[in-house]
């Protein structure tokens, strides 16, 4: 059995009080549902709210009761020093952050993030015991011209395949077709499954059967309470990276509950 994971990527949304309300509500709801829950829930708010997210993720009286894990949406590729505005993996780790999204298509598109930078960020995270959630995916034009596997193959090889097997085995991968992100145009379960199986096969060729077998591969791109069930029922889809629908507790919890029992 592979891990089942649902990640909320809040992107650049929510003021401080709004974030506090949502985190409170998520903790409350996940507490109620905890008994029949074998899903790992990871919440990735903006950096500023990571500490609050960490404070609210456990039971007040019993800190061993954790309702969700805390992640963030980016990290510096540098370890420390004169990099104004950056946030290091060591800082995040010292605040209890356990996961970090890397190589999201919005970072690649708007901030020019390259595969080489993805690779350096992943290294920083692994050195600081933070699990990278590494995104890959093709845009509309690339899919229309049948280039999706070339693009994803390049992103994975250049971003990740320099890792030693033990390090690679600590990753989570997210397939996010760019044409599906924030567009309301979810990939069909068949389209997503095809790419997930292809990724798992590529990982198997590089790292062997066992690492490929247990690697969690999440789907992202307009995944919502309506589409999650069929997506998560696919054999190679192990959960979701959720943007818009993670900003509302009802929608997000419905997605968390969308795995087959
Ligand atoms: P979306 O975003 O669910 O709003 O499409 C997903 C993501 O970008 O991670």
Alpha-carbon distance of 159 to 140, in angstroms, equals 21
77 Cβ contact partners less than 8 Å away, ≥ 6 residues apart = 117, 120, 121, 124
- Per-residue 3-state assignment (H helix, E strand, C coil) for 44-99: ECCHHHHHHHHHHCECCCCCCCECCEEEECCCCCCCCCCCCCCCCHHHHHHCCCCE
Q: CB of 244 closer than 6 A to ligand 1?
A: yes
Confidence label for 35 from pLDDT (cuts 50, 70 and 90): low
Cβ of 177 below 6 Å from ligand 1: no
Please give the positions annotated as active site: 104, 176
Distance CA 109, CA 118 (A): 13
Average pLDDT score over the chain: 96
| Predicted local distance difference test score (pLDDT) of residue 254 | 96
**pLDDT band, residue 83 (cuts 50/70/90):** very high
239 Cβ below 6 A of ligand 1: no
Whether 241 and 21 have beta carbons less than 8 Å apart is answered as no
For residue 37, the model assigns a pLDDT of: 67
Pocket test for ligand 1, best of 244, 246, 258 (most atoms within 8 A of CB): 244
What percent of the chain is predicted at pLDDT more than 90? 92
For 86, 95, 116, 124, 221, the CA distances from 83, given in Å and listed in that order, are 6, 20, 18, 15, 32
For the stretch 109-166, pLDDT in tens is: 999 999 999 999 999 999 999 999 999 999 999 999 999 999 999 999 999 999 999 9
Residue nearest to atom 9 of ligand 1 (CA): 243
CA of 189 to the centre of ligand 1 (A): 16
Which pLDDT belongs to residue 36? 62
pLDDT computed for residue 144 by the predictor: 95
What per-residue confidence (pLDDT) applies to 32? 87
- Which domains are delineated in the chain? 4-256 (3.20.20.70)
Taking the centre of ligand 1 as the mean of its atom positions, its distance from the CA of residue 193, in whole angstroms, is 18
Please indicate, yes or no, whether the overall pTM of this predicted structure exceeds 0.85.
yes
């Amino acid at each position: 059995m592979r891990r089942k994971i649902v990640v909320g990527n809040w992107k650049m949304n929510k003021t401080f009080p709004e974030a506090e309300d949502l985190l409170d509500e998520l903790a409350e709801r996940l507490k109620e549902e905890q008994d029949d829950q074998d899903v790992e829930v990871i919440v990735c708010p903006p950096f500023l709210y990571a500490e609050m997210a960490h404070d609210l993720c456990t039971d007040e009286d019993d800190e061993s009761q954790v309702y969700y894990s805390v992640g963030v949406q980016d990290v510096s590729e540098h370890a420390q020093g004169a990099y104004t505005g950056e946030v290091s993996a060591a800082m995040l780790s010292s605040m209890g952050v356990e996961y970090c999204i890397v190589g999201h298509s919005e970072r690649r598109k708007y901030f020019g993030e390259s595969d080489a930078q993805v690779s350096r960020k992943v290294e920083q995270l692994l050195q600081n015991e933070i699990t990278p959630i590494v995104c890959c995916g093709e845009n509309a034009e690339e899919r229309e011209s049948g280039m999706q596997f070339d693009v994803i193959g390049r992103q994975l090889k250049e971003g990740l395949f320099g890792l030693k097997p033990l390090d690679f085995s600590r990753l989570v991968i997210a397939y996010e077709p760019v044409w599906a992100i924030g567009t309301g145009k979810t990939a069909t379960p068949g389209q997503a499954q095809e790419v997930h199986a292809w990724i798992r096969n590529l990982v198997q060729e590089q790292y062997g059967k066992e690492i490929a077998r247990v690697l969690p591969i999440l789907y992202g791109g307009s995944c919502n309470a309506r589409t999650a069930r069929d997506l998560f029922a696919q054999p190679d889809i192990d959960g979701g990276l959720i943007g818009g629908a993670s900003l509302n507790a009802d929608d997000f919890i419905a997605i968390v509950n969308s795995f087959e029992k």
